[in-house]
Amino acid sequence: MSDLPRKAVTRTAKLAALPLGFAGRSAWGLGKRLGGISADLVGHELQQRTAEQLFKVLGELKGGAMKFGQALSVFESALPEELAGPYRATLTRLQEAAPPMPTSTVRTVLTERLGEDWRACFTEFEDTPAAAASIGQVHHAVWHDGREVAVKLQYPGAGEALVSDLAQLGRFARLLGPLIPGMDIKPLITEMHDRVTEELDYGLEAEAQSAYAQEYAEDPDVLVPDVVHQGDQVLITEWLEGIPLSAVIADGSQEERDRAGQLLSRFLFSGTVRTGLLHADPHPGNFRLVTGGSDEPAQWRLGVMDFGTVDRLPDGLPPVIGVVLRLMLDGDAETAYDMLREEGFVKERIELDPEAVRDYLLPIIEPACVDEFTFTREWMRGQAARIADPRSPAHQLGRRLNLPPSYLLIHRVTLSTIGVLCQLGATVRMRDDMETWVPGFAPAQPDTPPADPDTPDTEPSEIAL
């Protein structure tokens, strides 16, 4: 499929075939088991076939379908190891590439958006895209002033496709639930649907990226490319050269993984405080490790791209997050529970044991309990299994908690970033970043005793005469 399928009936038919395919494979698996083949072997083959069909369709359709696939891809580390293998390769493919638009379509779009003489804007323009994503693709070019640039073009019909895909995916969200244990798929799709308009507006994206680029202009750890030009359905930014984060996940040394993980943590917690915006699309395809010619990972910076999805938080992260986490760590479950109830995490008609809530949350915030924490797939799988198992107290308590809508995107971004850290297997000093950047999380400083009014502030020899 070389272009974005725009006819609603075509896209709907492809997506509608997914649950039918799931059902057909289940029947096929039952038949094999009745024929005496090991249930484990049949289960593995079912998972592999399911992964291949699901992500082949999502990748071909782009739009909302591929965006959903990218959102799922960061949770790959939550899958049981015996199932993760078949999914890992197909999930990762969605993070860096998708079938491109034909060259003729690219030139037509550029003519419509930049004018008949669009080539005069560039001294060089590569027809083959450098990257393709859910609603647009990126071309490498040289701007007329000599700067290397990334030219992001929106697929024709992307808006209609995005809305149609997410509506269709929402209809069978329940069938997709088993893909990621412990994760409710429907709110994820709903939240994506609610942000369709913002995602398609390259003007809003340019504003967000410019805000980040200005704030991090001299930062030693984070690099955000400047916006060069923005028009209707076209966004041109400075080119970002570097090692794709997906390559570090696949083949990086432990030192490289740790550096990438530390930078991701720092960016997650510092970005909102410094810009009033939360970068809300943390899948590996949006990050590069910028080496600056150095072979020392300690000198590398995190290059960040794609600001199409952001949460606007002008006052930074809600202070209640940091305060509640600190209270939980300090053992004050009662006060933390009262704050959660007041903020809407516990509905009025629900009564829970504050200590049980603390026991539920502590494993989740384990990375903030120690000086440094090693994120692993095993840890992520343990958390997912604890929350997903209907027989577990954690699962039963979790079903009685409520996530207020204003926290939904913050929650998803945090979980997504943790998912990437687990894919990296990085050791990270996350507590340091949280104490620096999360309001209310730093431990209270001991009160300084009042000075004795009869005691001078300085030694007599220092008193000016």
The DSSP code sequence of 267-311 is: HHHHHHHHHSEEE----GGGEEEE-TT-S-GGG-EEEE---SSEE
Q: Is residue 44 part of a domain?
A: no
- Domain membership of residue 260 (yes or no) is yes
Contact between 353 and 333 (Cβ < 8 Å)? no
Residue 356 lies in a domain: yes
Residue 355 is inside which H or E element, if any?
A: helix 354-361
Phi (first) and psi of residue 123, to 5 degrees = -90, -25
Quick check: is 393 in a domain? yes
Q: How high is the pLDDT of residue 407?
A: 87
Structure tokens at 202: 């390259």
In a domain, 360, yes or no: yes
d(CA 346, CA 338): 9
For the chain, 465 residues long, the average pLDDT of each consecutive 10-residue run is 46 52 38 38 46 56 56 58 56 54 90 94 94 82 97 82 68 56 61 72 95 96 97 94 94 97 97 95 91 93 93 91 94 95 91 93 89 93 81 86 84 89 96 95 70 48 31
Asked if residue 134 belongs to a domain, the reply is: no
How many other C-beta atoms can be found within 10 angstroms of the C-beta atom of residue 34?
Answer: 8
Q: d(Cα 7, Cα 5) in Å, to the nearest integer?
A: 6
pTM of the complete model = 0.76
Q: What is the pLDDT of residue 460?
A: 37
Q: Which two tokens stand for residue 220?
A: 């030693």
Q: Specify the 3-state DSSP secondary structure of 90.
A: helix
Q: Look at residue 273 in the predicted model and tell me its pLDDT.
A: 95
Q: Is residue 465 part of a domain?
A: no
Question: Quick one: pLDDT at residue 20?
Answer: 41
Query: Rounded to 5 degrees, what are φ and ψ at 230?
Result: -135, 135
In this structure, is residue 257 part of a structural domain?
A: yes
Q: What is the pLDDT of residue 114?
A: 93
User: What is the end-to-end Cα distance of the chain in Å, rounded?
Assistant: 87
Q: What is the pLDDT of residue 35?
A: 38
Q: What is the spatial distance between Cα 378 and Cα 361, in angstroms, rounded to a whole number?
A: 18
What pLDDT is recorded for position 375?
96
Classify strands 287-290 and 243-244 as parallel, antiparallel or unpaired: antiparallel
H or E element that contains 150: strand 148-154
Per the structure, the count of domains in the chain is 1
Query: CA-CA distance, 419 to 84, in Å (whole number)?
Result: 13
Domain that holds residue 333: 243-444
